Structure 1
Amino acid sequence: MIQEMENNLIPKGSIDLVGFGRLGLRTGINLIQIHRGGPAKITVIDGQKISESDIIFLLKGAEVGTYKSDFLKKLSIHPSDFREVVSITEDISEENIDLITGDVVVIEIAGGNTIPTAAKIIKKAHENGSKTLGTAGIFGIGDEKIIVKDISEFDDSNPAVNELRKEGITKDHLVLTTNTFIRDGIPITPYVLDNIANTLTKEALKLLIEKNNE
């Protein structure tokens, strides 16, 4: 009986990781370690290469000048019929938005004004019937409370949420935030990235289980 239950706990469904920087790598490592379930396919979408300042990548054994998205594929040595990692070495744009195919889409893009791109990703995912989640202000030392709720449940105090709403994202998108922003003059420490990645992983898994049960 136990053996039968174990045999039924196999990876199912797919997760897209859009953006694979310091936060994305942490989330990806969490996902490939999941046992007795989790995603059968993880697609990493990022066109950036590893630089000398990408310390977390270098600590894990990556090489400067190689693609970030390729690194998770290198780390994950599972048989492809158990858990497949697909690396797409492109940044998402309007021209290649059809690359978004996961049952759950985790948006972790950063740098500059990413809101319009994030909104396009969310709209495409929802068009596909997929579930989405992403961040909206995650600066912090590491002891900040992480707020997790649907975008429809926020008030008007979060500027990133407000910008997403202006782009037409008003419901069915899960947002994680410390409610701390670049304007607050607080850095982003490895500790807050660890905490955010762990929470993103948990919430992505909940959405994947929900999607698999539909």
Structure 2
Amino acid sequence: MDIKLLEDKLNSKGTVSVIGCGRLGVRVIMDILEVHRGGFKKIEVFDAAKIDMNDVIHRKYGGKVGEYKVSFIKDFFPEKIDAVFEDISKENLEKISGNIVLVVFAGGDTLNLRKKIIEYCKTTKKICIGTNGVFGLNCNVKVGDAKYENGPVEFLKMEEEGHLVVGTGKFIKDMEPITPYSLDKIAEKMVIEALKIKKEIIK
């Protein structure tokens, strides 16, 4: 068995786009960075926000209050991170270059934008993975198809199969907090699903 040949086959390949570098996004990015042998060659990160006092996870990794989130993550691993100092909108969807797209932004009414990203990924043959609730204390994180899952993803009203979602299925109205434990599990499952898909589509 030629170990060197096998190692070469497990070189990092492809680009994953992470839409959002908040509490969940930074966990996803850090998990991807830790993948050894067979991970992604590049991580494209979109976010226009700056770190504030409440961004504890960023500060734990060394980010400074007032620093752009994508700047901090770019400085953390400049060879692998393509930092985009913009939020994705319907006007700049064409900037998404990854083979796989992870939609991890939150806050406010983002439903229409999520739909636009999913449609764009479908027309450009990119694989899109999103979330389905991040609230909850029991950390029961599930992976499923958005067409069939219960939870916040129901508002997307997906008519076709193929949009993978990961989450607790809980709504803000359930009045349970967002804990680091649920975010860690969601990030873990999103990265695993992205790596499974990468193995199939990026040779």
Using the size of structure 1 for normalisation, the TM-score is 0.90
Looking at structure 2, the residues matched to 20 and 208 of structure 1 have their Cα atoms a distance apart, in angstroms, of 21
Aligned to 1:130: 126
Looking at structure 2, the residues matched to 62 and 177 of structure 1 have their Cα atoms a distance apart, in angstroms, of 26
- The offset of 1:144, in angstroms, is 2.6
Deviations 1:14-36 (A, max 9, x none): 10000110100001001111111
Looking at structure 2, the residues matched to 152 and 172 of structure 1 have their Cα atoms a distance apart, in angstroms, of 8
Deviations 1:141-191 (A, max 9, x none): 2x332111112333xx42x222212xx563211011212111011001111
Looking at structure 2, the residues matched to 144 and 34 of structure 1 have their Cα atoms a distance apart, in angstroms, of 23
Q: Which runs of 5 or more structure 2 residues have no equivalent in the other structure? A: none
Aligned to 1:41: 42
Residue 139 of structure 2 is aligned to residue 144 of structure 1: yes
Looking at structure 1, the residues matched to 124 and 112 of structure 2 have their Cα atoms a distance apart, in angstroms, of 19
CA contact (8 A) 1:164 1:170 kept: no
CA contact (8 A) 1:101 1:128 kept: no
1:169/1:106 Cα in 2 relative to 1: closer, same or farther (>3 Å)?
farther
Looking at structure 1, the residues matched to 27 and 64 of structure 2 have their Cα atoms a distance apart, in angstroms, of 17
Aligned to 2:91: 95
CA contact (8 A) 2:50 2:66 kept: yes
Residue 78 of structure 2 is aligned to residue 85 of structure 1: no
Counterpart of 2:147 in 1: which secondary structure? helix
Aligned to 1:104: 100
The list of structure 1 runs, each at least 4 consecutive aligned residues, that deviate by more than 6 angstroms after superposition, is: none
Q: AA paired with 1:151? A: A
Aligned to 1:70: 71
**Equivalent in 191, 194, 198 of residue 204 of structure 1:** 194
How many percent of aligned residue pairs carry the same amino acid? 38
Counterpart of 2:18 in 1: which secondary structure? strand
Report the aligned-residue RMSD.
Answer: 1.4
Looking at structure 2, the residues matched to 129 and 48 of structure 1 have their Cα atoms a distance apart, in angstroms, of 28
